[in-house]
Chains A and B, each alone.
Chain A
Amino acid sequence: MKQNNDPYYIDFPGRIQAIQEAMANLNIDAYLGSRLRTLSWTLDAFCPWRSFIVIPARGLPTAFTFVIDAARVADDSWLDEDQVFGFAPMGGQDQIEQISDFIRDRLKGGKGRVGIESGMSNYLPEGNLTHYEYQQFKAALPDAELVNAHTIIDRLAMIKDPGTINRFKEASRIVDVGHQAVFEALSNGGYKEMTETEIAGLAAYAMRKAGSEWEWSFTGGNEIASGYRTGYMGGACTPATRKKIVAGEPLMVDIHAMFKLGLGDHAHNYFIGSATDRQWWHANNFIDIVKRTIEAYRPGITPSQLAEEMMDFAESREFADYMVPGFEHGIGMMGDEWRIGLNDGPFPYWTNPDHVYRENEVLICAMQYACPEEAIGFRYENPIVLTPGGCDVMSKYSLGVELIV
């Protein structure tokens, strides 16, 4: 493991110890993690295949993944190869038998409480235990009680340590490199004949050159939308298409970089060729509400307070009809996207509108402005970390809607 003078150092053994302390408080003898967010947070390795981590009451955890990727996960992780197992369709080596044998060996007489991760999410690769997996593990561990315990991880992962925050900041710096490359490629008529997919690709190339591991978002990597596609009613998801960039239309560039599982996510907006006064009216509304929102973020406020305040502002400026009434989404190390805070809101597995923000929480400040009838829209996304008196915006790319000629 890296020395702790590394700005990106994370105390993973400390994280495991904190999980074990929480397990002890809940009388949990072993924790079976399956969510991508849990794997990233505990292993420091990206696990693209179905993977699990078993955390015993004491000692090191053990990871389990598809055998074709196990050696690579062991290489990337802070754990050594003795703690990373590969599963395969062989006798005794399929994931259910391998993991249940492993857990049984760590329970006294095969009896005890095993924490699992169950629930639902908007995020497709969340990785909760499937119904089938649950049934199989339950049958394989007949004397163990399987209890939903993901809140242990959710609570511990909520406040970010300096290493995690620095990883996010570096990912954001890389995203800014991508935005600069897009700007330069579009400028001086460069946009002509260019497609959304091409913009997504050139941003990706610039970010990879700068050290990004992946355009991590499951929404198609880099999201690029132009013209009417910027203004989908209530929409905030635009995988790039083969649509050409056309003068007179808005362009939305929402790009993503990953650095050591820290995530960069910043959207910037343009007008191509020219813009009407009406289009600038929309743009100025959008920029003003973004500025106001960033100024409003601070520990102690809640998502619902912030939304009310911002929607009141939008109403006062007569553009409330064009605002999607949400101003953030959750974020954490790779695999942790969408919900903010704990699963303690009125709608299970959605953000609790009364969640009280705390210092060193990281979230994506996110806004979508959409006017479908005028084929115009804008998006803002930027990771922010809550500071004692406000927030620090991680992507430093200049805020504005730029005119490209």
Chain B
Amino acid sequence: MAERLTYLSDAWRDEAEKRLKAELEPEKMKFITSSMSNIYTGCPDGKDRYLFFGFRDGKLDTLSIGEGEPPGAEFRITGSYDTFARISRAELGSHRALMTGKLKLKGNMVKALKLASIADRLNRVLSTIPAAY
């Protein structure tokens, strides 16, 4: 059994970056240039964290994890650590999380709809990382 990486740890980020770059080719990502900040409230240590994705021409340009105010992004998705963890474990769909208000999206909804399938692809890759929550 593969080693479980602590969710949102530096090691998890490195693995996520490696897998996203390997598995999401620019064509699959529709050559998008966009950015998204996932904001996790109530992490196990009581802190809030962000996971920032930056794509340029379909390539993952930046993937960063941090505390406090995230870098400016085209889309900002806020939810509890538990909600994001459930999505990563495929226990909860991201669309359902949005439609029930468990996640809050800030950004242009019409553009977000265009990127919904891309976000799903991204989440699918992240869900393959063996993680400890």
Contact = CB atoms under 8 A, between A and B. Distances in A.
Interface of A: 67, 70-71, 74, 81-82, 84-93, 97-98, 101
Given A90-B105, A91-B105, A81 B98 contact: no
B110 A67 contact: yes
Contacts of A67: 109-110, 113
A84 B111 CA distance: 10
Interface in B25-57: none
Interface of B: 78-79, 97-106, 108-111, 113
* Nearest 3 A/B pairs, CB to CB: A92-B104, A91-B104, A90-B98
B83 to A, nearest CB: 10
A84 B110 contact: yes
A97 B102 CA distance: 14
26 contacts: A67-B110, A67-B113, A74-B110, A81-B111, A82-B108, A85-B108, A85-B109, A86-B108, A86-B109, A86-B110, A86-B113, A87-B109, A89-B99, A90-B98, A90-B101, A90-B105, A91-B97, A91-B98, A91-B99, A91-B100, A91-B104, A91-B105, A92-B103, A93-B98, A93-B104, A98-B109
A92 B101 CA distance: 7
A91 B101 contact: yes
A262 B98 CA distance: 40
Contact of A90 (B78, B99, B110): B99
B113 to A, nearest CB: 7
A184 to B, nearest CB: 45
A71 B114 CA distance: 11
A88 B108 contact: no
B20 to A, nearest CB: 24
Q: Is the interface of B mostly helix, strand, loop or mixed?
A: mixed
A92 B78 contact: yes
A87 B106 CA distance: 11
Contacts of B104: 91-93, 97
A91 B108 contact: no
B102 A71 contact: no
Residue of B78, B97, B108 contacting most chain A CB atoms (<10 Å):
B108
A74 B114 CA distance: 14
Nearest to A71: B110
A61 to B, nearest CB: 15
A71 B111 CA distance: 9
Contacts of A70: 109-110
A250 to B, nearest CB: 50
Nearest to A65: B110
Contact of A92 (B106, B110, B111, B113): B106
A106 B101 CA distance: 24
A67 B109 CA distance: 7
Contacts of A87: 109
Nearest to A69: B110
Given A90-B99, A91-B102, A91-B103, A81 B110 contact: yes
A87 to B, nearest CB: 7
A306 to B, nearest CB: 48
Contacts of B103: 91-92
A91 B112 CA distance: 13
Residue of B102, B108, B110, B111 contacting most chain A CB atoms (<10 Å):
B110
A254 B106 CA distance: 47
A70 B111 CA distance: 10
Contacts of B101: 90-91
B74 to A, nearest CB: 10
A304 B101 CA distance: 55
Contacts of A98: 109
A92 B108 contact: no
Contacts of A85: 108-110
Given A67-B109, A91-B79, A91-B104, 17 more contacts: A71-B110, A85-B110, A86-B108, A86-B110, A87-B109, A90-B105, A90-B109, A91-B78, A91-B99, A91-B100, A91-B105, A92-B104, A92-B106, A93-B104, A93-B105, A93-B109, A101-B106
A276 to B, nearest CB: 61
A81 B102 CA distance: 27
Contacts of B102: 91
B119 to A, nearest CB: 13
Contacts of B108: 81-82, 85-86
Contacts of B109: 67, 70, 85-88, 90, 93, 98
B76 to A, nearest CB: 8
B69 to A, nearest CB: 14
A97 B98 CA distance: 14
